Amino acid sequence: MITVHHLNNSRSQRVLWLLEELGVPYEVKCYERDSATMLAPVALRAVHPLGKSPVITDGALTVAESGAIVEYLTGRYGNGRLVPAEGTPERLRYTYWLHYAEGSAMPPLLLKLVFDRIESAPLPFFVRPFARAISRRAKSSFIGPQIKLHLDFMEGELAKSEWFAGNDFTAADIQMSFPLEAAAARGGLDASRPKLMAFLERIHARPDYQRALERGGMYELLS
């Protein structure tokens, strides 16, 4: 039996969704973020040394890192579903988006989260203006323009086909859901980018997406 070690409001929501789409039975072991630091509890380090989510166990196997988990689950249980055929242009696009989600789209969004927190952190009064000025500068000179660059790029790509890898829904769309939901919650993604907003509407309407939400509990990133 597959166990998904699921941290609330996290990337592991994608793994629950993928398992629902594949119709593979699984159990969910829930972990709660620390409400002050937002970090995962140390108990998760007993599953994998980094103590991050998602991580799954399947018999004697432990697989961490969401892209690797997607590859493992589709390869072991997919029977060709949710992955374009080898050697097609769609397969190359699929591989690209599978890596792009964590490798390129997430870093500027994570930086924004960190600097937003610095700005709102309770700091000593003599430090506060400097911390806020540095944070605002980092956001306006680098982070904001990078997020815009990526959102424009993704919007343009979804103007070419309905889903990221082509005309069919694939596991790359599941992988891409997290950066787009994070961008909608706190990265400035709004109705000015209709293709991306329509993508979010389409995925949220999928019954397996809904079922995964029921299994994983509240998912605040959706805002």
Ligand X SMILES: N[C@@H](CCC(=O)N[C@@H](CS)C(=O)NCC(=O)O)C(=O)O
In terms of CB distance, is 52 or 93 closer to ligand X?
A: 52
Based on the shown chain and the rule CB under 6 A, indicate whether residue 222 belongs to the binding site for ligand X.
no
Based on the shown chain and the rule CB under 6 A, indicate whether residue 40 belongs to the binding site for ligand X.
yes
The site that binds ligand X (CB under 6 A) totals a number of residues, namely 12
The string of DSSP letters for 170-199 reads -HHHHHHHHHHHHHHHHS---TTSHHHHHH
In angstroms, give the least distance from the CB of 3 to ligand X: 16
Site string (120-159) toward ligand X, x via CB under 6 A: ----------------------------------------
In angstroms, give the least distance from the CB of 68 to ligand X: 8
Site string (84-123) toward ligand X, x via CB under 6 A: ------------------x---------------------
H helix or E strand, kind and range, residue 3: strand 2-7
Q: Which one of the spans 7-15, 143-151, 187-195, 207-215 is the region binding ligand X (CB under 6 A)?
A: 7-15
CA 46 to chain centre: 23
In angstroms, give the least distance from the CB of 100 to ligand X: 12
CA angle 94, 97, 102 (to 5 degrees): 140
Structure tokens at 102: 């964590």
> d(Cα 171, Cα 156) in Å, to the nearest integer?
20
In terms of CB distance, is 147 or 166 closer to ligand X?
A: 147
With contact defined as beta carbons under 8 Å apart, do 184 and 76 qualify?
Answer: no
Based on the shown chain and the rule CB under 6 A, indicate whether residue 54 belongs to the binding site for ligand X.
yes
With contact defined as beta carbons under 8 Å apart, do 30 and 40 qualify?
Answer: no
SS3 breakdown of the chain: % helix, strand, coil, rounded to 5? 60, 10, 30
In angstroms, give the least distance from the CB of 66 to ligand X: 3
> d(Cα 213, Cα 218) in Å, to the nearest integer?
7
Q: Which residues bind ligand X (CB under 6 A)?
A: 7, 10-11, 39-40, 51-54, 65-66, 102
